[in-house]
Amino acid sequence: MTITIKDDAGIAAMREACRLASEVLDDIAPHIKPGLTTLDIDRIAAATMQRQGTRSATIGYQPSGYPPYPGHVCTSVNHVVCHGIPADKPLKKGDIVNVDVTVITPGGWYGDTSRMYEVGECSIAAKRLCRLTWEAMWLGIAEVKAGAHLGNIGHAIQKFAHANHLSVVREYCGHGIGQNFHEEPQVLHYGQPGTGPVLEPGMIFTIEPMLNLGRREVRELQDGWTVVTRDRSLSAQWEHTVVVTPTGCEVLSLSAGAPQPPDFIRSAVT
């Protein structure tokens, strides 16, 4: 198995797919408030995708051993780590929710990105977790350049997480993406520098760390999808899709409403 290298046309198609996924997140942002349900979020996302002419990669998605995923997006609240299923339970003040969007363009390209949203005023601990997870993602992104090893990304994320007394979920990872949802390589959010494949221009993959306030262990609920922290501690995740360039990387999943990179990154990444 090999990591596909995208040509200029493929990169342009992925730039569009990932921007569209990010614009789905832009459209959700103004709606987030106490009382909104995660099913409402799913409906807002589905409406945006319909307007765009994209479709959801997650609805009906069925890897072997899993039931078909029922949502247009994943909505993961508080101690839900990932793959939370949209439901009619209202969000309440102080909740944190990850919305993870993967769209497929009419041309068959996949764009994948996720953000955290804070519902009303949140605790200092919850806000800190969301911010540090976002910074960890960007520290991973800053490691991406032609000639670097894939393992450098996970190492940077793990080192930062541990320095801040957060744990790193190991069961789920970033992934190559393009004309398939999940391609090689697996992008671990922990590891050792100088290990793994050497990055080449045109490789496209996601970086999507999941960090917990408590222990790293997770378990899957009976619905076959929802992943929660075993100790029920809060978990956060952010996700971008990037393409390796000769000098660094380009973050593809940006849009007008996407948070700007942190100041310590802005110089290093295009």
Q: How far is the CB of 157 from Co ion (least distance, A)?
A: 15
Among 6, 19, 72, 83, binds ligand MF3 (CB under 6 A): 83
Residue 87 as a binder of ligand MF3 (CB under 6 A): the answer is no
- What is the helix (H) or strand (E) element at residue 187, kind and residue range? strand 183-187
What part of residues 133-172 is at the interface with Co ion (CB under 5 A)?
none
Residue window 238-267: x/- pattern of binding to Co ion, with contact defined by CB under 5 A = -x----------------------------
**Of residues 123, 146, 137, 117, the one with CA closest to residue 26:** 117
How far is it, in rounded angstroms, from Cα 167 to Cα 230? 12
What part of residues 206-235 is at the interface with ligand MF3 (CB under 6 A)?
206, 208, 225
Q: Which is nearer to ligand MF3, 74 or 258 (CB)?
A: 74
# residues contacting ligand MF3 (CB under 6 A): 12
Give residue 11's region: left, alpha or beta (phi > 0; psi -120 to 50): alpha
- What is the helix (H) or strand (E) element at residue 81, kind and residue range? strand 80-82
Among 3, 5, 39, 61, binds ligand MF3 (CB under 6 A): 61
Q: How far is the CB of 243 from ligand MF3 (least distance, A)?
A: 16
Residue 110 as a binder of ligand MF3 (CB under 6 A): the answer is no
Q: Which is nearer to Co ion, 164 or 255 (CB)?
A: 255
Residue 102 as a binder of ligand MF3 (CB under 6 A): the answer is yes
Among 112, 143, 183, 250, binds ligand MF3 (CB under 6 A): 112
Within 191-269, strands assigned E span 204-207, 210-212, 218-220, 227-229, 235-237, 240-244, 249-251
Residue 21 as a binder of ligand MF3 (CB under 6 A): the answer is no
How far is it, in rounded angstroms, from Cα 156 to Cα 91? 33
- CA-based torsion, 231, 138, 190, 239: positive or negative: positive
Contact call for residues 20 and 258 (beta carbons, < 8 A): no
How far is it, in rounded angstroms, from Cα 253 to Cα 206? 10
Residue window 181-220: x/- pattern of binding to Co ion, with contact defined by CB under 5 A = -------------------------x--------------
Q: Which residues bind ligand MF3 (CB under 6 A)?
A: 58, 61, 69, 74, 83, 100, 102, 112, 206, 208, 225, 239
